[in-house]
Structures are given as structure tokens and as C-alpha cells.
């Protein structure tokens, strides 16, 4: 009697079925992997969009809540450190205004004036006696040799100082004397401008 296990035809069919089962198993595994890849792909897309939405919301929140801050420092003290609405300062290339989200800037400052508006309050004017200013992340940092509030200056006295400094400059003869008298003239003019600006703002 013929045994199926020893029949060549049966053996070939069994091998073929085994190969088909292996192929189908492999195909199903690949299909599962593709489904997993598709799931991961769409999940990553969703997470990426969610992340971008959260970043947009966070940046918008910062934009709405941001308020410029000014820090003015002299060699011996912190002169001013407070939130402001806007500022105007004089650089070597001209006067610039500073509001929230101002682009980063590093600039030198002439002997001139700086004005800023306090949060919900009035304008303040100062005489700055040369230095540097850094604008970054809504933070205005000013490093100066000295600063004077226009509110503590008397316009009449400042005008007399300007006239005296102008006379000294006109009468200066040597190069060193000319430079020193010019610097003094610039300082007195800055103080006069700051005091006059405060007098105008008070009206």
C-alpha cells in the first residue's frame, strides 16, 4: 500500500504549500509594516502640525504680551531699569525709534538725548553723554559715560552753559583745547535739549 508521506508527488505538493505559506506570512508581515509606516507617517504629520500650532500660539501670545524694557547703566550705577512703550535714541547714523519686536541692533550713541515713554505714563527725556546701545529681544540696553534726567535740569541755566561753551570753543586755539571745548559744547547742548524737551512735553 502506497504511503502518502513517501509519495514524491505528495512531497512536492507539501513543499510547494510550505513555500506558499512562507510567502504569505512574509507578505502579511510586510503589509503590517507598511500599515505601521503609514500610521507613523500620519501620526508624525499630526504631531508636527500640532507642534507648529502650539509654537504659533506661543509666539502670538508673546507678541501680544511683549513690552520693551530699557536698562540704562553708567559706570557707577543702574540709572534706569523699567518697562516702556517706546523709545527714541540718537545714533551716529541718525535718530531711531524702538518699539516691541524691534530687529536686533548694536550701535554707538552720540552725546545727545534719549526719550522714552513709560508704560501708560508720560515721556521722559535724558541727556546721554556718549556710549553704546543694544536692542535684542525687546530689551534696550544702554551703556553710557553719564546720563542726566531732563526733568532735573533748568533750561535757563543750560542755555547759559551752552553760550559759555560756545564762546570757549570759538576762542580755542590748540588742537587739544579745540577737541575738549567741542566735547563740552556737545554735552551742554544735549542737556539743554533734554530740558527743553521736558518743558515742551509738560505743556
Kindly list the averaged pLDDT for each block of 10 residues, start to end, along the chain of length 203: 45 52 54 52 52 54 62 90 88 82 84 86 88 87 91 92 92 88 92 81 52
Cα torsion at 178, 183, 185, 186 (round to 10°)? 140
pLDDT score of 196: 87
Same domain, yes or no: 58 and 124:
no
- Spatial CA neighbour of 145 closest among 157, 131, 158, 126: 131
pLDDT score of 161: 93
Of the residues 47, 63, 79, the one at which a domain ends: 63
pLDDT score of 160: 94
Kindly report, residue by residue over 145-188, the tens digit of the pLDDT. Answer: 999 999 899 999 999 999 999 999 998 888 889 889 999 999 99
Same domain, yes or no: 119 and 163:
yes
Q: How many structural domains are present in the chain?
A: 2
Same domain, yes or no: 195 and 125:
yes
pTM tops 0.85: no
Same domain, yes or no: 195 and 110:
yes
pLDDT score of 186: 92
Same domain, yes or no: 103 and 55:
no
Domain that holds residue 40: 4-63
Amino acid at each position: 500500500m502506497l504511503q502518502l508521506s513517501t509519495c514524491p508527488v505528495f512531497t512536492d505538493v507539501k513543499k510547494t504549500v510550505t513555500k506558499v505559506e512562507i510567502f504569505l506570512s512574509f507578505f502579511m508581515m510586510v503589509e503590517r509594516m507598511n500599515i505601521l509606516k503609514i500610521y507613523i507617517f500620519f501620526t508624525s504629520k499630526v504631531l508636527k502640525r500640532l507642534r507648529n500650532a502650539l509654537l504659533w500660539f506661543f509666539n502670538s501670545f508673546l507678541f501680544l504680551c511683549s513690552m520693551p524694557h530699557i536698562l540704562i547703566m553708567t559706570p557707577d550705577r543702574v540709572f534706569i531699569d523699567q518697562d516702556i512703550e517706546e523709545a527714541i535714541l540718537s545714533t551716529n547714523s541718525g535718530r531711531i525709534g524702538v518699539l516691541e519686536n524691534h530687529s536686533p541692533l548694536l550701535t554707538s550713541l552720540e552725546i545727545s538725548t534719549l526719550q522714552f515713554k513709560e508704560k501708560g505714563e508720560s515721556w521722559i527725556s535724558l541727556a546721554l553723554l556718549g556710549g553704546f546701545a543694544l536692542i535684542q529681544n525687546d530689551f534696550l540696553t544702554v551703556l553710557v559715560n553719564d546720563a542726566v534726567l531732563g526733568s532735573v535740569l533748568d533750561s535757563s541755566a543750560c542755555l547759559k552753559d551752552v553760550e559759555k561753551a560756545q564762546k570757549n570753543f570759538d576762542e580755542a586755539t590748540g588742537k587739544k583745547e579745540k577737541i575738549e571745548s567741542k566735547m563740552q559744547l556737545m554735552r551742554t547742548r544735549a542737556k539743554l535739549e533734554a530740558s527743553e524737551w521736558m518743558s515742551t512735553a509738560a505743556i
